[in-house]
Amino acid sequence: MVEKIISDYMLEEKFITAENIARRKEFLEFSEVDVEILSQIHQYLERNEVVVDLFTDSFYRHVFSFPELRMMLSDEASIHRLKKLQSKYFFRLTAGDYGEDYVSDRLKVGYTHQKVGLEPRWYTGAYRKYLSSLLPILHEIYGDDSTKLIAAYDAVLKVVFFDMDLALDTYFHSSMQKLFRLANYDSLTSLPNRNLFYDRLAQEIKKVQRTESSLALLLIDLDQFKEVNDTLGHPSGDLLLIEAAHRIRKCVREADTVARLGGDEFIIILPELNTHTHVERIALDIIQVLSKPYQLDNDTVYISASIGITVYPEDAQDIANLLKHADQAMYVAKAEGRNRFSYFTQSMQQEAKEKQELTNDLRQALVRKELHVYYQPIIGLKSGSITKAEALLRWKHPTRGMVSPVIFIPLAEESGLIHEIGDWVFQQALACVVDWQKRLGFVIQISVNKSPIQFEHPEKQVWQQKMKELGVPGNRINVEITEGLLFKQSAKTKERLLDFRNDGIEVSIDDFGTGFSSLSYLKQFDIDYLKIDRSFIKDLEKNSDDRALAEAIIVMAHKLGIRTIAEGVETEVQRDILKSCGCDFVQGFLYSPAIPAAEFEKMIAGEQSVRS
C-alpha cells in the first residue's frame, strides 16, 4: 500500500510525467524497433519459462554469497515470495509495454528495495548478472546473424538502463524527501520547525490579504519545563515535549499549523479567523490539556502553559513584528501568574521598547560607573553590634534617577548581564572586607546575593580563587540564595554549593518561608542561615499568626543547627519580640537602610569608637 502511494505520488506530483518518460526514451534512443526486438525475446522466454526460473535461482545464489544481503533475506517464506516476484520482474523487462503502468511498478520495486536497506550499488550487480544470463539466450535466438544480435544487445541495454534509471530515481526522491524533512520538521516531535512555520505563515498572510480576513498566532511557552529538564534529565524532558506536542495538535483543526520553534516553545497559526471567541476557546483547551499530569517513565510531573496571542493584520503588518508581539504577550501571561493567555496590546509594545532601552543602558552602566554597592548592617541581637552586612546593588541612571533593583535585576538576568554584574558586586564587597580590616581593624562578614542564573554559569570557583589570592578566609563572605534554587536541585547547584562549603564560605537562604523549601533541602545542603522574610515581620506586633510562624522558623532552624536573620525590622517592638523568640540577627530600617560604602565605614568606625 505504501509503495503504491509513493509511486502514485511521484507520478501525480509531476516528478515523473508521460512527457518525462518520453524524454528518457528519446535520450536512450529507445525506439519502437527496440520494443519489437524485446517482444521477440519475450516470446522466446514465454515458451521457455524454466530459463527464467534457472536464472532467478542463479541470481539468488549470487546474492546469498554476500553476508549483509543474506542477513536481510533470512526468512524462507519471504525468499520464496521474492523469487517469484524476481522472475516476474525480469520477465517483464522484455514485455514491450513501457508506459506509466510499467513505470509505476518499477517505482514500487525501487521503493521496496530502498525501504529494506538495499543500496543502489546492488542494482549494478543485479543488472550485470541479468545481462550475463541473457546473452547466451540471445545467441540461441539469433544464432550467427551478427546484425540482429547486435540490435538485440542494443535493445536489451536500452531497457536495462531505462529500468535502472527509474530505480535510482526512487532513491533520489526518497533522499530528497529525507532532506526536506530534516530541513522543515522537528526531529523530536515531528512538528513543522521554524523554517516551515515561516513559509506557511507567509502563505497564510497572502491568503488573508486576498480575502481581507485575519489570522491569529498563539505562542506557547511551557512553564516549569526547565525545572523538569534540570531535575529529571534531558530524556525525560524530551518525553514531555513529545507528549505536549501531541496534546496541542489534538486541540486544533487539520488546517491549522502547529510548529515547534525550539526549546519549550510552540506556535500555532489559526487561519480564517472569524471571532476571538474561537481563539480563546483553543487557548483555554491547550492550557487545560497541558496542565494534566505527565507520566515520564517512573515520574509523574505537572507543568502549565503561558500563551501569547497576536492577530494579523490588526497587531502587525509583517511576520517579524507579529512574532515579536506574540512574544511580548506571552511574557505578560507569565508575569501575571502563568497558566493563562494574554492578547497583545499597544501598551505592551511601549513597555517592550522601554525595557529594551533600559537593558541597553544597563549594558553601559558598569562602564559609566552608574552602578554602586550599598551596605545594610546586620545586627547581632545578643551583642547589639554590627557583625555582618548585606551588599545590595543600586543603579543611579543619568536621566531616570535611582532605578529599583526590582526592575533592573530581572533585566540583568534575562540579558545575561547578571554574570558580569554579579562578579563585580562580589569584587566590591571583597575589597571592602579587606580594606576595612586593614585600615580599621574591623572584621566583618558580607553577604552577597547570587542569582539562580549565576549558578548555571560554566565558570567554577571564580569567587573562591579571588579570595585565596587576597588571603581572605572563606567565612568573611556569605552567599545568599533563594529557596527556589534548592527546590530545583540541579547538579550544577549542588556542585557550586559544595564548592562554597569546602572553601568555608557560608550560605544563607533569603526570603525564607515564601518559596518551596522543605526540611530535607535544609539538611541536604547544609545551610548556615535562614533569613526570615519581611512579610512575617511586618505585622509581628499585632498578628499572632505571624509571630507564631516566625517563632516556629527560629526554633526549627536552631534544631537543625542553623542561625536566623530577620529582615525588614523597623520598630523596637519587632526587635524585642524577635529577641524573645531567640532570633540571632536582624536587619532593617530600625538600624539603617542600605547606604554607600563610605557612609557604612563611618557607621562602623563610630561603633568602634563607642566600644573603645
Q: How confident is the model at residue 9 (pLDDT cuts 50, 70, 90)?
A: very low
CA 70 to chain centre: 42
What is the location of CATH 3.30.70.270 in the chain?
194-344
User: What are 278-295's pLDDT values in tens digits?
Assistant: 898 999 999 999 999 999
Q: How far apart are CA 294 and CA 296, in angstroms?
A: 6
- pLDDT at position 251 is 96
pLDDT at 206 over 90: yes
- pLDDT at position 302 is 93
pLDDT at 489 over 70: no
**Residues 348, 329 contacting (CB under 8 angstroms):** yes
pLDDT at 423 over 50: yes
- pLDDT at position 566 is 95
Residue 162: other Cβ atoms inside 10 A: 21
What is the location of CATH 3.20.20.450 in the chain?
356-601
- pLDDT at position 6 is 42
- pLDDT at position 406 is 92
CATH number for the segment(s) 2-184: 1.10.490.10
Q: Which residues pair with 36 in a beta bridge?
A: none
Mean pLDDT of 460-474: 87
- pLDDT at position 106 is 75
Q: How confident is the model at residue 119 (pLDDT cuts 50, 70, 90)?
A: low
142: nearest Cα among 129, 155, 130: 155
Average pLDDT, the chain: 86
Q: How confident is the model at residue 490 (pLDDT cuts 50, 70, 90)?
A: low
- pLDDT at position 430 is 96
Task: Give the DSSP letter string of 442-500.
Answer: ---EEEEE--HHHHT-S--SHHHHHHHHHT--GGGEEEEEEHHHHHH--HHHHHHHHHH
Mean pLDDT of 76-93: 76
pLDDT at 7 over 50: no
Decide the pairing of beta strands 506-512 and 477-482.
parallel
pLDDT at 242 over 90: yes
Q: Which residues pair with 389 in a beta bridge?
A: 377, 446
567: nearest Cα among 486, 611, 508, 516: 508
CA distances from 528 to 379, 404, 465, 564, 566 (A): 16, 29, 22, 9, 14
Q: How confident is the model at residue 296 (pLDDT cuts 50, 70, 90)?
A: very high
User: What are 374-405's pLDDT values in tens digits?
Assistant: 999 999 999 999 999 999 999 999 999 999 99
pLDDT at 15 over 70: no
User: What are 567-578's pLDDT values in tens digits?
Assistant: 999 999 999 999
Minimum mean pLDDT range among 141-155, 270-284, 366-380: 270-284
Mean pLDDT of 213-226: 94
Q: Residue 385 in 3-state DSSP?
A: coil
- pLDDT at position 236 is 93
pLDDT at 54 over 80: no
Mean pLDDT of 519-530: 77
What is the location of CATH 1.10.490.10 in the chain?
2-184
- The model carries a pTM of 0.59
CA distances from 237 to 229, 268, 591 (A): 5, 21, 48
CATH of 194-344, one of 3.40.47.10, 3.40.50.300, 3.30.70.270, 1.10.150.120: 3.30.70.270
Most trustworthy range by pLDDT among 126-140, 436-450, 522-536: 436-450
pLDDT at 433 over 50: yes
427: nearest Cα among 393, 460, 388, 376: 393
Mean pLDDT of 305-310: 95
Mean pLDDT of 316-321: 92
Minimum mean pLDDT range among 178-182, 393-397, 504-508, 597-601: 178-182
> Residues 10, 12, 13, 14: is their CA dihedral positive or negative?
positive
Q: How confident is the model at residue 334 (pLDDT cuts 50, 70, 90)?
A: very high
Minimum mean pLDDT range among 242-251, 315-324, 406-415, 515-524: 515-524
pLDDT at 118 over 70: no
Q: How far apart are CA 176 and CA 197, in angstroms?
A: 19
- pLDDT at position 312 is 94
**Residues above pLDDT 90, as percent of the chain:** 51
pLDDT at 608 over 80: no
Residue predicted with more confidence, 452 or 112: 452
- pLDDT at position 301 is 92
Query: Architecture of domain 356-601 in CATH?
Result: Alpha-Beta Barrel (3.20)
Mean pLDDT of 103-128: 70
End-to-end Cα separation, the chain, in angstroms: 97
Mean pLDDT of 477-485: 87
- pLDDT at position 120 is 64
